[in-house]
Structure 1
Amino acid sequence: MKITNIIPYPTWVAHRNQLIVKVETDEGIYGWGESGLSGREKAVVGAIEHYREWLIGKDAFNIGAIWQEMYRSQYFEGGRVLQAAISAIDIALHDIKGKALGVPVYELLGGKQRDHIPTFASTGISPSAEMIDQAKELKERGWNVIRFFPAQDTDGIFEPRESIAATVPWLIKAREELGDGVVLGIDYHHRLSVAETASFCQKMPSGTLDFLEEPIRDETPEAYESLRTMTDVPFAIGEEFASKWQFLPYIERGIHQYNRIDVCNVGGLTESMKVAGWSEAHYVDMMPHNPLGPICTAATIHFSAAVANFAWLETRASPAESYMGRGESPLFTEQPKLDGAVYKVPDTPGLGVDVDEEAIQAQSFKFWEAPHWKRRDGSVTNW
């Protein structure tokens, strides 16, 4: 079965773009993939177009060899743009192979280890009484893992210490109101420094949080090692990692407890399975990042079904958020659907997702830029 075409579709869905990728073959079987590099879709499209020139004619079943050739056959290997392109193509090839063999993708990954995929849900509002009400509703609907977001300024100004002061009391209140039976975490989206993160954690009683996600930037593992000595809160890190090599120091030095792996950024299912096995050897659990669309969700469901060291899968389709395009979307004719607080593992061949191609062709790409935040002194800070 030979690859005959690779078509990238940068498509506006709801409030931002998704980069959906179709791989076609000479037997009429096609596969869908997705890139995770949000906000830089045009760059990934360019990379895919470079790959397409020599991928046409390749055997679509040789997924591992194709991955190696995409990664190694250039001097400037790796990086987030190239890995996002590789991810989308790799996921689509798994979809093709599953369809051709008549098996779900997880069968290509070693078979399923669970029948349903537990998820964690997030509240959709800044720290407040309403945030706690949303968390209570999520608990009532079956979620026992809930993530919060910190206080942030809506005028494009973000001051870390002000955010900490406004967030901490509500997290303490949330633990009091929700009890010890619920796993609670917060995503600080790498907006803090080491010192600020330490202060944040030290302002709360031990046990308030069960995980702290991405408090600082990831470029320097030694900074996380330093922070590790200052707090006992488990770390969830890795959604922006673009290879197994970026995970290496975190896994082998015992810096974190949860891998926020993104199958659409790290190099697809091929690379994700390698990270999962490595993590299992070091007792690090997989907690996949999943903020994109149904293709990412479908691919991550199959990954989550196939690995032993799995914790929870992110969903952005809970009643508290329900972002169109992140959950169910009218652009997809087949897509994963939440069953309460879980995704059931499908038994359909391939990923179990399909796209209304005419609809996505009609959706024009729109330039979208992540917020450019500043501090009160005018300096640039992280979003």
Structure 2
Amino acid sequence: MRITEIKSFLLCNPRDLHIIKIETDAGIYGVGEAGCSTREYGQEGVLRHFRECLFGMDPMRIEHIWQVLYRSAYYEGGRIITGTIAAIDMALYDIVGKALKIPVYQLLGGACRNKVFGFWTVGGLDELECADRVKEAIDGGWPAVRFAPADRIVPRALRTDLGKEDGTNVFDVRQSMAATAARFTAIYHHTDQRIPLGIDYHHRLSVAEAAQFCQMVPRGSLGFLEEPIRNENPDAYAALRAMTDVPFAIGEEWPSKWAALPYIERGLTNYARVDVGCIGGLTEAKKVAGWCEAHYIDMMPHNPIGPVCTAATIHYAASINNLTWVEVVPAFNEGASDVFPVTVERRGPCYRLPTTPGLGVEFDESAALKYPMKMHEHPHLQRPDGSYTNW
């Protein structure tokens, strides 16, 4: 079996997605999905280079192909590259699973569980409905919930109107910390501590701000604090780790096992937020999970994109022993039924393991052409003094 064609689809349904389709001379195709949203054009450019490497290769040589794609340009790595490799890697596993007539998790060592639980992001802590959603999550059997911080002063929708001067892109960190801590504490006491509650600060805090925030909520109340600071410098997390005993959830931006290395070896995270669509696919994500298991670090996969990446994440989660929960974003996975007529099935808080060969996703490329990508940027935020800050 040989690779004969690689197709790229940039679509929006309901959010921007970069889907690739790899075809073979055996009539079997595989689909994959690239991570790193808002940089899809860059990934499409990388794929143009990779096409020349992939034509004629044996799709069953997944590890070999990964090494060729990652190392052949001499300048290795980077999230745009590894996000593209991730899509190819998923598609190759899809092909091999279909060829052998087994689900992908069987290729990864078999199932460690018979279902995969997710956690629910119930919204921002400044939303009036937030407490009701937490109760709904508990009543619905969700094992954990996550909040976005209180930041109603910034728009939640993805925007293209950058550089606004009307104040709607201002993020006041001190206001956010105070409001987030107050509302979180109230909800924590209201839930009677029945399930873990986490907050995702999305890299918006400094080390000092994050340390202070951890002191603003009751000790032991935070099930996890996700990505409170930027992760380029592990020493910054080491400094923060020394200031608080709050569990950290870090890793959604790791582009490779090498980026994950210091966080794992130095015990800087308690939950590894590996993103199958960013780190280079199932091949690389599986290695990081084994590494984490040796250090008693639990996996909590990041999964914010579309149906193909979700399917790959569920197969990954099924195959690793050290799993807590996967991220579930129903709006990005359950609104594209004409493009993806068959996907992995979620019932309430959990996914049953797919039984169909490959990833268990069907892709209609003619339907995909009806939903061209709508170029967007995530909000460009600034602090009250006009300086840039992370979204």
> Residue by residue, what CA displacement relative to the aligned partner does 1:180-206 show, whole Å, maximum 9, x if unpaired?
220110100000000000111101111
Partner of 1:204 in structure 2?
217
1:287-328, Cα deviation, whole Å (9 max, x unpaired): 0001101101100000000001111000012xxxxx2x3345
Matching residue of 2:378 = 370
Structure 1 match to 2:12: 12
- Say if 1:328 and 1:336, in contact at 8 Å, map to a contact too: no
Deviation at 1:174, TM superposition (A): 1.2
1:306 aligns with 2:280: no
1:214 matched to 2:214? The reply is no
2:333 to 323, 326, 330: 326
Residue type at the aligned position of 1:79? G
d(CA) in 2 for partners of 1:131 and 1:365?
A: 31
SS of equivalent residue, structure 2 residue 70 = helix
Q: 1:290 aligns with which of 256, 280, 303?
A: 303
More off after superposition, 174-183 vs 106-115: 174-183
Aligned residue runs from structure 1 range 174-323, under 5 A: 174-317=187-330, 323=331
Match of 2:163 in 1: none
| Residues 204-227 of structure 1, C-alpha deviations (whole Å, 9 max, x = no match) | 111111100000000000000000
- Distance across 2 between alignment mates of 1:47 and 1:240: 19
**Equivalent residue number for residue 118 of structure 1:** 117
Show structure 1 runs of 5+ residues with no match.
318-322
Alignment deviations for residues 211-269 of structure 1 (CA, whole Å, 9 cap, x no partner): 00000000000000000011111000010110000000000001110010000100100
Distance (Å, rounded) in 1 between the aligned partners of 2:18 and 2:191: 38
Q: Is the 8 A contact 1:120 1:143 kept in 2?
A: yes
- Which residue matches 1:162? 175
Amino acid corresponding to residue 332 of structure 1 in structure 2 = F
> Hey, what's the Cα distance between the residues in 2 that align with 1:163 and 1:219?
23
Contact 1:294 1:328 in 2 (8 A): no
- Which segment drifts farther, 275-284 or 171-180? 171-180
Once the two structures are superposed, residues 322-357 of structure 1 have per-residue CA deviations (whole angstroms, 9 ceiling, x without a partner) of: x2x334522211112211210001111000011121
Question: Which whole-Å CA distance do the structure 2 matches of 1:129 and 1:379 have between them?
Answer: 30
Shift of 1:362: 2.0
1:172 — aligned with what?
Answer: 185
Aligned to 1:339: 347
Residue 123 of structure 1: how far off its partner (Å): 0.7
Give how far 1:48 is off: 0.8
1:344 is matched by which residue type in structure 2?
R
* CA contact 1:328–1:337 (8 Å) conserved in 2: no
Give the distance between the partners of 1:295 and 1:67, measured in 2 at CA.
19
C-alpha distance after superposition, 1:89-128 (max 9, x if no partner): 0000000000000000001000001000011001134434
Distance 1:352 1:125 in 2: 33
Contact 1:29–1:99 (CA<8 Å) still a contact in 2? yes
Q: Which moved more, 1:118-127 or 1:140-149?
A: 118-127
Contact 2:125 2:184 in 1 (8 A): no
Distance 1:327 1:149 in 2: 22
Q: How many residues align?
A: 376
Tell me which residue corresponds to 1:359: 367
Output the TM-score relative to the length of structure 1: 0.96
Q: How does 1:64-75 map to 2 (within 5 A)?
A: 64-75=63-74
Taking structure 2 as the reference length, what is the TM-score of the superposition?
0.95
Do the aligned partners of 1:189 and 1:216 also contact (CA within 8 Å) in 2? yes
Partner of 2:99: 100
Report the identity percentage. 51
SS at match of 1:6: strand
SS of structure 2 residue aligned to 1:31: strand
Contact 1:190 1:216 in 2 (8 A): yes
Is 1:86–1:267's contact at 8 Å kept on the other side of the alignment? Answer: yes
For the structure 1 residues 129 and 207, does the alpha-carbon distance in structure 2 shift closer, same or farther, using more than 3 Å as the test?
farther
AA matched with 1:71: Y
> Residue 115 of structure 1 contacts residue 344 of structure 1 at CA under 8 Å; is this kept in 2?
yes
Partner Cα distance (1:59, 1:214) in 2: 39
Q: Distance in 2 between matches of 1:148 and 1:366?
A: 27
* Matched residue type, 1:194: V
Unaligned runs of 5+ in 2: 155-167
Task: Report how far residue 129 of structure 1 moved.
Answer: 4.2
Contact 2:118 2:327 in 1 (8 A): yes
